[in-house]
Structure 1
Amino acid sequence: MAVDDERRAMSLLHGLLEEAVAGRGRIAVVTGAIATGKSRLLYGFADEAFEHGALPLSAMGSRAERDLPLGVLAQLLHNAPMTEEHRATMLSLLHEGARTHLASDPRADAIEHVDVQIVDALCTVLLELAERCPLVVAVDDMHLADRASQLCLAYLARRVKYARIMLLLGTPGHQGHPPNLLHTEVLGQPHCRQVRLGHLSQQGVAERVTLLAGEEAAARYAARCHEVSGGNRLLVDAALEDLQESGAPGERYGEAVVACLHRAGPEALLMARALAVAGTTSAAARLLGRTGTDDGDQDRPHEGRPDRPHGGRLHAGDQDRPCERADAARAEQALAGAGLLDGGRFRHEAARTVVLTGLDGAERARLHRGAAELAYHDGAPVAVVAEHLLQAGHAGQPWALPVLEEAAEQALRDGDVEPAIEYLKLAWQACADERRRARITTTLVRAKWRINPSTPAGHLAELTTALRNGNLGGGDAVVLAKALLWHGHDADAKDVLARLAELGEPDRETVAELAAARAWFRSSYPSFLSHLPVLSEEQASGAAHSLTVGRRLESAGALARALAGECPDEPAATAERVLRGCRLDEMSMDTVESALLTLTYTGRADRAAPWCDAFIAEAASRHAPSRQARLSAIRAEIHLRRGDLAGAVDDARRALEIIPPASWGVAVGGPLGSLLLAGAAMGRFEEFLPQADRPVPEAMLETRFGLHYLYGRGRFHLMAGQPRQALRDLRLCGELMRAWGLDTPGFIAWRLDVAEALVRLEETEEARLLVEDQLARCDRRCARVHGAGLRLLAATGEPRHRVMVLRQSAELLQSSGDRYELARTLGDLTEAYRAMGEFRRAWMVGRRARALADECQITVLDPDLAPGEDGEGGEAEPVGLRPVLSDAERRVAALAADGYSNREISGKLFITVSTVEQHLTRIYRKLNVTRRTELPADLMSRQA
């Protein structure tokens, strides 16, 4: 209703008042839902009535005073001006009427239960007063007035037709409220007029927002205010405040919702609470009408609870007084009339939230328990049923356990790890079957592992006990063994594997887990491989009974073959095929990890990088920090093999921040080793020294992760100038790799690093033999290792062959994409050129080496590689370079160095293509280069 509607209502009331003042008594019944402005209209008109010569007498009905006989009439008469004699008589009548009413049956409708003579005498007091002065008798919330006062006012209404009295009554109307005397006795009177008020229209909301906050606020917020309020003035005002402050309905809106609910009455409040739990009014009505579904005294309503209505008929979970359909319909009408509902739901989540907050724990649990049962029998999605069970904290029904398990499985598939964990915890608490409980615990361990691997550690002892008692299946026993190994509990893991062998003929699931575990142990825990039960050929061939299991087997097998030194093409192809069909569901992390590492260790780090980035983003979006950390550790390895040292540091640190080092278990060697390798290469020894000295689990040296750590720590000591200490770690790393059959150059080329340490100890002959051994173990497809090996071979060979070998090394490393190793080779090549007196070549190669070193953030490059400085702070050109080229040649060389083709240079300089080619031939000969990529990039700035 807009401002104009309010004016029309006020105008109508003024007209009725004029008639009443003239001696023709009138009745006005103002009806409308909550916050439609009834009270403001009543009291505003009563104030104006005094200015028109009428005496206003006002009273208000109240739920708290409904049992106080004649309480509303007493409010009216106490405010009336009268002599002391009349007042004493009036008080005596009120006292007698109250006493008579209390002695009667309050449920009866007959007027005689309030003495007719008393009613007549009380009304006579008002009629006599009206003879002296016109009266406006205004009663707000008439529906909440005590019954005795209602009877008296109905009696008065029949007698004011020829009195100077205007009877003004406010009520919500019939909607949402049962009929009362107002409807049966008053509205039917011929001198009665009904004034209906409604909520604000969209235009009315805009006018109100403009009035309260201005036109700019109305343009921004009016539509939203109408949407969340339905035109309810109280909600409009509150929503406007919240929107101006935070941009969304919040605390003030919630407070206004609570105020509306309490004004709507107990039945509406109960419906709102059920609606907040059930979601829709139809479901809420059924929830309130449930019978016989709660058992146990703890689930019954408590006597005398203040939130229970007196005389109401809606009782959530009450077995003795079910909800009547009419009661529920009226409650829904009251909520809708208050503007709180839209399509049978709360208009905004803030309303639902504030209602739920007002529920005590027992009431909320009872409602959710009933909602769970209704949702289950209605065939609702398991997630909906499980959420109600979770909020109820109860899963005692026979159907509840499978619902929680299915909901957890579905949540894990969708990446909703936290809800899945809560469902499983409730299922675990409710499950009495030990074998089933062990299965639930295994799933819970897997789910918690996604958040933090250390979180489920407390369940491992429980699962171990379940295995000893024969309550843990073979497949779950394999999962338990892997978890124990992760945390470094070697003895317990061996005991689990031994008991697994005693379980007899394995079932299909156990066979699949064992087959996948064998390949996984082969690549990650090789020293434990002998403890796994051996599968027959028939069992092994039938292990891949599903697509998910098949991918796990393929991926783990590809990594095992890659680390065993097989031809890298086939494992890499398998890994890429597996990755194309993978998602990070509850079973595939090992699959993804093995496939990414297969690509990385077969010299295809460039192909692994985009896959790894995509899976990291997916893990972050699915709120799986454990997986995000494990993938970040792999990404750090990929960065290292591409010479991106800063990227390796960032990802390794991220992995150790997401999962603290203590929670990584034996796998901490992966990110820790990468961090040490990158820090050593960058020359940041003091910064990374604490990582080199960090205590690590002793069991880590029984795993692939221990090899990463030994290699990283060995390289750190080597680059820090401690070759003998480095040799201990590097040789131990090599011994373990050979013992476990993982001695492949694509994984860790430990011989090269041992050789480098020996070179620094001037034991060049042994170093040369190790380098030759390493080169014999890899072909040119291992470009990165081959290139690094040639660099060390040059360091141990004759000086006259050094340039040729280093150039071969640079070509291989250029193709491999490892910028760090390429920078080291170019640094050695610079020194080799300088030793041969080829200073121009030394200058050009050294400049490129310095650029790569800066790109990789290497701070330990030989200072002699740094270009000299001219008087202006730029790079100085070697003596004799400037007079070599003519001006025409310099212009051609500058454009060629910038990447222009011969035809493009011809067009820019207005010369023929043949002339460009002749110039370039002379330029290459004069500068002693073979290709345009070796040309100095700033020739034009070096004028003679």
Structure 2
Amino acid sequence: MELFERTEALNVLEELLAHAVLGKGGVAMVSGPVASGKSALLHALAERSLDLGALSISANASRMEQDIPMGVLSQLLQDAPLVAEERDRALGLLTEGSRSAMSSGFQPGALQQVDAQIVHALCTVLLELADRYPLLITVDDAQYADRASLLCLAYLARRVRATRMVMAFGHPDQQLQSENFFQTELLRQPQCRHIQLEPLSRGGVTALITERIGLAAPEQFTDEWYQLSGGNPLLAAALADDYRDHVRTGAGPPNEVVVSDRYGQAVLSTLHRGEPETLRVARGLAVLGEPDGLALLLGSSPAQVTREMQALTTTGLIRFGVFRHEVARSAVLRDMDVQDRMDLHRRAAELSYDAGAPAVVVADHLLQASKCGAPWLVTVLEEAARSALRNGHVEDAIAYLRMAWRECADETYRAKIMTMLVRAEWRINPVAPAGHLNELTNAMHRGSLRGSDAIVLARALLWHGRFDDAREVLEQLNESEAIEDPETVSELVIAQLWLRTTHPPFQQHLRHPVKELGLAAVASVAASRRLESALALAEVLARGPREEDMGSIERILEGSRLDEMSMDTVENALLALTYAGQCERATPWCDLFFVEASSRHSPSRQARLAAIRAEIAIRKGDMQGADHYGRIALDIIPFSGWGVAVGGPLSSLILAATATGNYHAVADHLEQPVPESMFQTRYGLHYLYARGRYSMAIDYPALALRDFQRCGELMTAWELDVPGLVPWRADAAEACLRMGRMDEARQLVEAQLARCDQETPRAKGIAMRVLAATSELRSRPALLRQAAEFLQRSGDRYELARALYDLVEAHQGLGEQRRAGLIAAQAQAVTKECRAEPLTSALSRGEDVDAIALPLANEVTAALSEAERRVAVLAAIGYTNREIANRLYISISTVEQHLTRTYRKLEIHGRADLLPRLRFDGQGAAESLRDA
């Protein structure tokens, strides 16, 4: 491999060798950080030696052979081209020198002494060889050479000045104190050249990587490659190899710098080439993650740690006191002995706790530590878990709580920790905590689980349909003594409201006397918001929406974030807006919290928000969106993990597929087994309604009526009979109409209308559409136009399409084909927007809507005044002049004047030509009719 930015150093060495060929020998000390290219430089010089007229002999010292006397010198003499007599003499001298060193009281690591005569004789062999051939002697990693060899090499270095010999040694900047004599001895010689290798520059790193990967280095990566390598050629080459490996997988060029196994291996190789103490400090740094407290952790002096940290910095492994990449730190940790690593983490945990470090820092060490047994362990882990949950690090919180639960000896405290664990696991997947429910139930029976923790257990049991166990938990809560703890009191009130809106049959089982609680007594701001949102939802489902409440619900959402306990707040508030018919308000909030749940790695919350988003989409007539979000919900949480709540996303999928005519998909959804216990929950109402709509679509009105009636019976029994939840009476009336039961149908739809007001335009529009079907033909257009107005105001595009379709049929029945065709054009635009294929096909089979002129752009109506436009819109969809006058509170004469001016401006002959000239695409129709 080419030597990058080492050309000048190689030139100096070649110049020394050229002088030696002419009889003027020299010594070179090549130093630099570990893995800076010293070995590659010496190897390149050895390869060039023959071209320069010299023979090369080399040796590589090793830490493992450092205590073998004469080991390095033996390598040199064995590599030298000696005749047989010289080789025998050299081997004999080596044996004698080794014996001399051993007899001088040798112990591993001791300063060996060799008889001066033997040293002289051995050096003479090499000097005589240099007399015959110019000689290059290279010794790499000279810091690991045995002392006996160093004595001989120092002796030889002092005599090379008048010989044809060059001695070149590779030596790192950091060395042991006992080896300083050799470097000092060489550098004081006048014939010695010291060559210091510096880290590669940014350009050098780029050139090295370019050559390594075989193509031009991507410009966007060069800065990061330089930062990650620190100019260390070995690390830079490893980054190139990681890049090349990624490309070879067939994945194509990466979008970001690849830092993988090759880089980690290069880090370890660099460390193992260095000093043991440097490696030890690197391991301590990997455990701590930062240099603070490193000396205490390792039991070393601050000066020693500072020196080794400097060595790590110059080597390019760390920057600003930390590893340049997490891959490097991970590699160092994996390379450690398991027990040693665990002991260091235990020590780090203790030191961090004593220093007052954040609980999360201490807990991270405890997770990796050997047995600690500290009295503060459980409380620190619990505190760390709460902090992790607040910051969205759910997996970390789960790990802390699991360890706390294992280490906790107090049964009551242990049950409390398990309850926290259930909450945390729930945020990942509601299936996960199911395995803990039996243990918590047993703890409840033993009296170890009480108050708010028991409520958490009851809610988990209800979710999974374990109603008998949940009932027992609730009954035990009733039997508990008077509760004074504000947190528990708050949770009891919130639980009562939650049961009221989600599991109504169970409300009677939680009868703890907490009626006197007011908002001022709630334990915290978060609990207050949860209570307010639960109350808001209960109010909407009990009495219907009130405009004055909508602002307060949005203020609750403004102050909420998806921290540990706020999902209920967000869910209740979003559902309150949705059931109140405020889908346009609910949509941006739901999208915002969905993104936040994703950023906080809370899949369960993502799924629950997706289910709400699907319900919102249904009520907006966005069937494609409902299918999209419904599938997201069931993809994130497996079907079985939804428990009784599966009716939420599943009903949205059924309704969307029914509306779009995808009946095969509906059949697949309905084949999914749902828990029977679901029909004792709010989710069951949605499922019954969706199944009934499908039965109507495939012309089984009797089956549909049964589902609608059951839905109504449950809503009535639970006192949740508001049209904003499920408009069951209107659909039951439509089923009765299909079955020829006209009187019953009219009674149902009139009862539905009696429950509707201006705050429930969607339910009222649906009901008026069905009312039109129970009325005489001549009365239907007026009723259907009113239905369309309410549905436009509600924003439900699908129900609007159904009303417009019925209006087309009504005009056709009255023989008003031209008007029917004009309305059909508008209806078809809306049905296509909703992807309501059955309606689109039905419209296409009627009047030839394709023959109707398409609406022109907005500038056509720009010439009209606001008053003229309002009159024109109403006239276009079939209102008479008298009806327009009554609606707009103007005289009939004024209506006639507006129409006359409109005909002139649009260059048309009468109202039959109005609709083709007005813009009635999906959004335009809603805007025009709403304004009118």
TMscore range, shorter length = 0.7 to 0.9
Aligned AA (2:97): G
Give the aligned partner of residue 490 of structure 1: 467
2:99 maps to: 99
1:605 to partner: Cα distance:
1.9
Work out whether residues 187 and 194 of structure 1, in 8 Å CA contact, stay in contact via their aligned partners in 2: yes
Find the counterpart in structure 2 of residue 733 from structure 1. 711
SS of residue paired to 1:919: helix
Distance change >3 Å, CA 846–CA 54, structure 1 → 2: closer
Matched, 1:437 2:414: yes
Counterpart CA distance in 2 for 1:5 and 1:745 is 79
Correspondent of 2:501 among 523, 528, 542: 523
Distance 1:921 1:338 in 2: 82
1:448–1:894 distance in 2 versus 1, CA, 3 Å = closer
Change (3 A) 1:743 1:9: closer
Find the partner of 1:927 among 908, 912, 930.
912
User: For 1:370, what is the secondary structure of its paired residue?
Assistant: helix
Tell me, in whole angstroms, the C-alpha distance in 2 between the residues paired with 1:555 and 1:687: 35
Task: Give me the TM-score of the superposition, normalised by structure 2.
Answer: 0.87
What corresponds to 2:888 in structure 1? none
Q: Does 1:407 align with 2:384?
A: yes
In 1, Cα distance between equivalents of 2:9 and 2:776? 110
CA contact (8 A) 1:395 1:426 kept: no
1:180 aligns with 2:175: no
Q: Please report how far the alpha carbon of residue 382 of structure 1 lies from its aligned counterpart in structure 2 after TM superposition.
A: 2.7
Where 2:851 maps in the other structure, the secondary structure is coil
Q: 1:755 aligns with which of 717, 733, 742?
A: 733
Which SS does the other structure have where 2:231 is aligned?
Answer: coil
- Superposed CA deviations along residues 41-76 of structure 1, whole A, max 9, x for unmatched, are 434444555555555443221222212211111122
Superposition RMSD on alpha carbons, in Å?
A: 3.5
Give the CA deviation at 1:558: 1.1
Q: Distance in 1 between matches of 2:814 and 2:721?
A: 38
Matches within 5 A, 1:811-830: 811-830=789-808
1:399 Cα deviation after fit: 2.8
The answer to whether structure 1 residue 248 and structure 2 residue 223 are counterparts is no
Give how far 1:136 is off.
3.8
Please give the alpha-carbon distance, in whole angstroms, between the structure 1 residues aligned to 2:856 and 2:28: 98
Aligned length: 883
| Equivalent residues in 2 for 1:262-277, closer than 5 Å | 262-277=272-287
| Structure-to-structure mapping, 1:55-454, within 5 angstroms | 55-106=55-106, 113-160=113-160, 165-174=165-174, 179-205=179-205, 208=208, 216-217=216-217, 222-243=222-243, 245=247, 246=254, 247-281=257-291, 283-289=293-299, 323-325=300-302, 327-392=304-369, 396-454=373-431
Alignment of 1:885-904 (within 5 A): 898-902=860-864
Do the aligned partners of residues 426 and 12 (structure 1) sit closer, same or farther apart at CA in structure 2, a change above 3 Å counting?
same
CA shift at 1:182, angstroms?
0.5
Alpha carbons 1:130, 1:163 under 8 Å: kept: yes
Q: CA deviation at 1:475?
A: 0.5
CA shift at 1:763, angstroms? 0.8
Deviations 1:472-502, CA, capped at 9 Å, x for gaps: 1301101110110111111101111122223
Aligned pairs (5 A) from 1:336-735: 336-392=313-369, 396-506=373-483, 507-540=485-518, 542-566=520-544, 568-735=546-713
Q: Give per-residue Cα distances to partners, 1:560-585, cap 9 Å, x unaligned.
A: 11111256234433322211211111
Write the deviation string for residues 295-329 of structure 1: whole angstroms up to 9, x where unpaired.
xxxxxxxxxxxxxxxxxxxxxxxxxxxx4555534
Structure 2 counterpart SS, 1:564: helix
- Opposite residue 519 of structure 1, the aligned amino acid is L
Distance change in 2, residues 1:42/1:660 (3 Å): closer
Q: CA deviation at 1:257?
A: 2.4
| Structure 2: distance between partners of 1:862 and 1:232 | 68
Maintained 8 Å contact 2:578/2:586 = yes
The correspondence for 2:812, drawn from 834, 859, 884, is: 834
CA distance in 2, matches of 1:897, 1:133: 99
Cα distance change of structure 1 residues 816 and 719 upon mapping to structure 2, 3 Å threshold: same
Q: Distance in 1 between matches of 2:85 and 2:769?
A: 122
How far has the Cα of 1:36 moved from its partner? 3.5
Give the secondary-structure state (helix, strand or coil) at the position aligned to 2:432.
coil
Name the SS for the 2:543 alignment partner.
Answer: coil
**Preserved contact between residue 813 and residue 819 of structure 1 (Cα < 8 Å):** yes
| Residues 148 and 777 of structure 1: CA distance in aligned 2, closer, same or farther (over 3 Å) | same
What SS class does the counterpart of residue 497 from structure 1 fall into?
A: helix
Distance 1:896 1:208 in 2: 62
Aligned to 2:871: none
CA distance in 2, matches of 1:108, 1:90: 25
Give the SS at the match of 1:27.
strand
For 2:289, the aligned partner's letter is G
With 675-684 and 239-248 compared, the bigger mean Cα shift is at: 239-248
Query: Counterpart of 1:217 in 2: which secondary structure?
Result: coil
Q: 2: CA distance between counterparts of 1:921 and 1:57?
A: 102
Partner Cα distance (2:692, 2:899) in 1: 56
Please state whether the residue corresponding to 1:139 is helix, strand or coil: strand
> Residues of 2 paired with 1:915 and 1:181: CA distance?
113
The question of whether the paired residues in 2 share the 8 Å contact of 1:221 and 1:243 is answered with: no
| 1:802 and 2:780 matched | yes
8 Å Cα contact 2:475-2:509 kept in structure 1: yes
Report if aligned partners of 1:827, 1:862 keep a CA contact under 8 Å in 2: no
Question: How many angstroms does 1:680 deviate by?
Answer: 2.7
- Is the 8 Å Cα contact of residues 710 and 730 (structure 1) preserved in structure 2? yes
SS in 2 for 1:59: strand
Deviation at 1:169, TM superposition (A): 2.8
Whole-angstrom CA distance in 2 between matches of 1:391 and 1:369: 8
- Deviation, structure 1 residue 83: 4.7
The Cα of 1:159 is off from its aligned counterpart by 4.6
Pair 660,899 (structure 1): closer, same or farther in 2 beyond 3 Å: farther
Q: How many angstroms does 1:185 deviate by?
A: 3.6
SS of 2:835's partner is coil
1:631-678: CA deviation from partner (whole Å, max 9, x where unpaired): 121122212222222222222222222212211111111122222223
Partner of 2:123, secondary structure, is helix
Q: 1:443 to 1:452 in 2, by over 3 A?
A: same
Alpha-carbon distance in 2 for matches of 1:101, 1:554: 88
The C-alpha deviation readout for 1:850-898, integer Å capped at 9, x for no partner, is 322222222333966436687xxx7336xxxx9xxxxxxx9xx968894
Matched, 1:876 2:851: yes
For residue 260 of structure 1, report the CA deviation from its aligned partner: 1.8
CA contact 1:417–1:623 (8 Å) conserved in 2: yes
Cα distance in structure 2, aligned partners of 1:508 and 1:869: 67
Identity of paired residues, percent? 49
**Does the 8 Å contact 2:492/2:514 carry over to 1?**
no
CA displacement at 1:437 relative to structure 2: 1.5
Q: 1:760 to 1:253 in 2, by over 3 A?
A: same
Distance 1:438 1:29 in 2: 68
TM-score, normalization by structure 1: 0.86
Cα pair 1:575 1:599 within 8 Å, conserved? yes
Letter aligned with residue 64 of structure 2 = A
Structure 1 distance, partners of 2:134, 2:917, is 110
Q: Does the 8 Å CA contact 2:764/2:787 hold for their aligned counterparts?
A: yes
> Against the structure 1 CA distance between its residues 903 and 663, is the aligned structure 2 distance closer, same or farther, given a 3 Å change threshold?
closer
8 Å contact from structure 2 (residues 822, 916) kept in 1: no
My pick for the range that moved more, 349-358 or 146-155, is: 349-358
Q: Which residue of 2 aligns with 1:301?
A: none
Q: Is the 8 A contact 1:28 1:168 kept in 2?
A: yes
